[in-house]
Amino acid sequence: MKRMLTVLVAVLLLGLSNYGLAQETEETPTSVTIGLKTWYATWEYKPVGAEGWDFGTGVMYGPALNIRSGNLFVGFSYLTGGGFTDEYTESGYIYTYPDYWGNYDYEWGEEFDRTDMDLSIGYYVTPNLGVFLGYKTLTIGVTETYTLTTEYSGSATGEDSWENEFSGFALGVTGHTRIGESRMILFGTLSYVSLASEFDGEAGEDFMGPAIEVGLAYALETMPLSFTVGYKYQSYEEDVEDGGKDVFAGL
């Protein structure tokens, strides 16, 4: 299976030091950045060899924290939200016991919520380039509803819900550089992620693949405030023969 999530990432970070600029100066060996991340996304599901589905758009948001002390650094983010949906309707002619044929209408829908937690700890091998080990959890909550209406028996409704959970480790590199003499910082992260899955309480297959994030940060000169916008790409492939991919990407 394949899933495509196109996202718009708008990040506002408010901290004790300007992002990136303080990290490059020896006079400020310790810097702390805290803030809020907002992730606006669309999601498309593409199974292998078949037409996919469009789950619409959703919004995720939550806190972010970055700490650097000398060459050591720690990063944390927790994003939660949703709004992704899938709908299906059908009408036709159906046989209903004991001996009746009549029209029917069937409506089915799913709603999806998503929560991502990312934790990393790393070491800068140069002032602008570091390596890190990360831990990630991802939870997708699903709520399914349906309504069947027939001429003979009226309407019947039902609802079910479950969670799909993923967790595992990441190994990667991160870097940033100041653009000329401006207050603009170019940053990027590349990692390889391995996630074990659990579907409705039962162990599933492993998913592995790269995660890439690039962006720009602008630090204000008059106050410890910086704005960040970036592009994020994640591609997790199921570790089975002919396994599909979960791909999340966007600007």
So what's the pLDDT on residue 219? 80
Which amino acid appears at position 29 of this protein? P
The CATH number given to 2-87+109-147+160-250 is 2.40.128
Say if residue 194's pLDDT is above 50: yes
The answer on pLDDT for 25 being more than 50 is no
| Secondary structure percentages of the chain, helix, strand, coil, to 5 | 0, 80, 20
* Mean pLDDT for the stretch of residues 65-92: 87
- Could you tell me the pTM of the whole model? 0.78
Q: Which of 8-22, 124-138, 220-234 has the lowest mean pLDDT?
A: 8-22
> In the structure encoding, which two tokens stand for residue 84, read together?
């992704």
Q: Give, as one character, the DSSP assignment of residue 53.
A: E
Q: How far is CA 97 from the centre of its chain?
A: 47
- Give the pLDDT of residue 10: 40
Nearest 5°: the CA angle 2, 136, 177 is 95
**Angle value at C-alpha 165, between 164 and 169, nearest 5 degrees:** 150
End-to-end CA distance of the chain: 23
pLDDT tens digits for range 204-241: 778 888 888 888 888 888 877 778 888 877 777 776 55
Structure tokens at 117: 């937690």
Answer with the residue of higher pLDDT: 41 or 245: 41
